[in-house]
Amino acid sequence: MGASETQRGSTAGRTGHGGIGTLELCNQENQDEVAMESHGETQASATSNAGLMIRLEELRELALARGADQAVVIPTSEVIVDPRVRLKCMIPKCYMSGACAHCPPHGSSFNETKDMVSRYEWAVFFRVLVDSSVIANEKAASIILSGVWDDGGKLSTLGGSYMLLASIVKVVQKRAEEMGYSPTFGFAAGDCRDLFCHYQPTCQSLQTRRGCRHPSLSSPSMESCGLDAFTMAARVGWDAYPIGGTCRPESVPHGALMGLVLVT
């Protein structure tokens, strides 16, 4: 009911009952006040929701402007946490499992991630496309382990794509926190040791009390925390292909790295 309808109803009530009792009149006036207050609250809430949506849209556009090929704002009810995703980092064991503070068995457990996601209502989800000839490279694992760049430059392109995704996570978090949404929480893809500590003997966060060398750059990956990026991508209409060590470039149209920022 709109404000004018409420007021019309109030007048009719008083006229119709012609002073039947003060209490009834007071009740009617109280109801009018409550209705008007509630209408005011509804308007305030709609305004604040509209403001929130505008700010979330700004964050989505920021992710696109910084290099994501797709970005969406999603309610956190669409953020899928599945313990099997995190287990896949350990069984069979990824070469980085246990070697980086953000990689399983370190980092956030399934329950911790679930709890954290439940404290937010909205998130920005985005992806960076990677050419299949770059990401579905049979030699990628051995090249990464050896630390020797391949002569075609594919590994540096792959590293650049992971770096791009990591930077979008941080840029979106920073802007969201400037908007007043703090703390935010961001997830990138892959391990941060190959990206930021490749030439260091160990992950400093694991070996000393000094913590991470690059806290303003590194984020845990979606997969290390049990976030099911593939199902989430499918639900927002993106094609995504699991790419293992034996995947050949011609068998997938492209690769995708996905990131997520929990905003508010």
**Dihedrals φ, ψ of 181, to 5°?**
-90, 95
- Give me 77's structure tokens: 């009810």
User: Per rule CB under 6 A, is residue 203 in the interface with ligand SF4?
Assistant: yes
Residue 219, CA atoms < 13 Å, CB-side half-sphere: 26
Single residue of 59, 68, 100, 229 touching ligand SF4 by CB under 6 A: 100
Q: How many residues bind ligand SF4 (CB under 6 A)?
A: 14
Length of the chain: 264
Contacting ligand SF4 within 162-201 (CB under 6 A): 192-193, 196-197
Q: How remote is the C-alpha of 202 from its chain's centroid? A: 28
Q: Is 73 exposed, middle or buried (0-12, 13-18, 19+ CB in 10 A)?
A: middle
Computed over its alpha carbons, how large is the radius of gyration of the chain? 26
Closest to ligand SF4 by CB, 62 vs 191, is 191
User: Per rule CB under 6 A, is residue 214 in the interface with ligand SF4?
Assistant: yes
Single residue of 62, 101, 124, 225 touching ligand SF4 by CB under 6 A: 101
CB atoms within 10 A of CB 180: 8
Closest approach, Cβ 145 to ligand SF4, in A, equals: 15
Q: Which stretch binds ligand SF4 (CB under 6 A): 11-19, 107-115, 119-127, 207-215?
A: 207-215
Contacting ligand SF4 within 28-87 (CB under 6 A): none
Binding site residues, ligand SF4, CB under 6 A: 100-102, 192-193, 196-197, 203-205, 212-214, 218
